[in-house]
Amino acid sequence: MCSKYSCLWIGFIILISICLTACERNDTKMVSKVVPSGFISLNEAIDNTKGTLRYVPWESQISFLDADSFTIYQTGFANRDFIVEYKDEYYINGEKYSELVGIANATVEQRNRTYYLGDTVGLRKSATDQYAVKVDTVEVETVDEVVTYTIKFTVDHVDYDYQRKQIFDHVETESGKIINNLTFVDEGTVQFELQARDRIRTIVLKSPDYDECIRKVSIEE
């Protein structure tokens, strides 16, 4: 049994905790009486990007990701300069949204671009760094009905050997076959075999750090 004063003290502490919790919730959920000028519907805006840009809501934060699943912007729901809630729907600053779309579109352009032998391909490593990959040559040797392809390449900004291997995700052939059993001869050479009746068409590169960051190198002239 607690004394009269200790019970009052415990009750006082509980009341303060409830008030603080309420304040935290109010701080992360900014309900507006009107939609501010220049704000647009978050869901409608994202739908219009058709996959170029998406968002992930957290308890008190919201993150915006590009097609590589890279976070290009993150802020709190308490940031009323960017996001407000009105009638159970979120609205965001249209000007800032346009900036995010511009960044996301640049990523899609890189994903859709066709790279060729000798081109430097950038793969995301961090917010400020990229892996720089260059496929220099593809050599072909045919013995009977088996073709051995030898790919010569260079990769800059690699910290560990496994990253270099993960960058070469797979190879696609003209018949649509996917080959991912690649043999790394050394840090700048990879080999694989293919039946003579088929031919390599595309080398698919992927960031070791972002699974959705994919770039394609064509070996077709």
Q: pLDDT (tens digit, 9 = 90+) per residue, 20-66?
A: 444 444 445 556 668 899 999 999 999 999 889 999 999 999 999 99
Q: Is 137 helix (H, G, I), strand (E, B) or coil?
A: strand
Cβ burial, residue 5 (10 Å; 0-12/13-18/19+): exposed
Q: What pLDDT, on a 0 to 100 scale, did the predictor assign at position 34?
A: 80
- Could you give the dihedral angle defined by the CA atoms of residues 11, 13, 16 and 21, in that order, rounded to the nearest 10 degrees? -100
Domains (range + CATH), the chain = 29-109 (no CATH), 115-218 (2.60.40)
- Mean pLDDT across 184-199: 92
> Could you tell me whether strands 214-218 and 83-86 are parallel, antiparallel, or unpaired per DSSP bridges?
unpaired
Q: Sheet of 200-206: strands edge to edge?
A: 114-116, 214-218, 200-206, 168-173, 178-179
Closest among 68, 70, 55 to 108, alpha carbons compared: 68
Amino acid identity of residue 56, one-letter, is: V
Q: Is the pLDDT of residue 17 over 90?
A: no
The residue behind tokens 């415990």 is 10
- Mean pLDDT across 72-91: 94
| Stated pTM of the model | 0.78
Q: Is the pLDDT of residue 18 over 50?
A: no
If you count DSSP H runs as helices and E runs as strands, how many of each does the chain have, helices first?
4, 16
Q: What pLDDT, on a 0 to 100 scale, did the predictor assign at position 22?
A: 41
What's the Cα-to-Cα distance from 151 to each of 40, 148, 170, rounded to whole Å? 49, 10, 12
The residue behind tokens 């790919």 is 151
Q: pLDDT (tens digit, 9 = 90+) per residue, 121-173?
A: 999 998 889 999 999 999 999 998 899 999 999 999 988 888 989 999 999 99
- Mean pLDDT across 177-198: 92
Average pLDDT of the chain? Answer: 86
What's the Cα-to-Cα distance from 123 to each of 67, 90, 159, 172, 209, rounded to whole Å? 13, 33, 14, 19, 9
Q: Is the pLDDT of residue 196 over 60?
A: yes
Task: Tell me the β-bridge partners of 189.
Answer: 152, 186
CA distance 108 to 84: 28
- Mean pLDDT across 168-188: 93
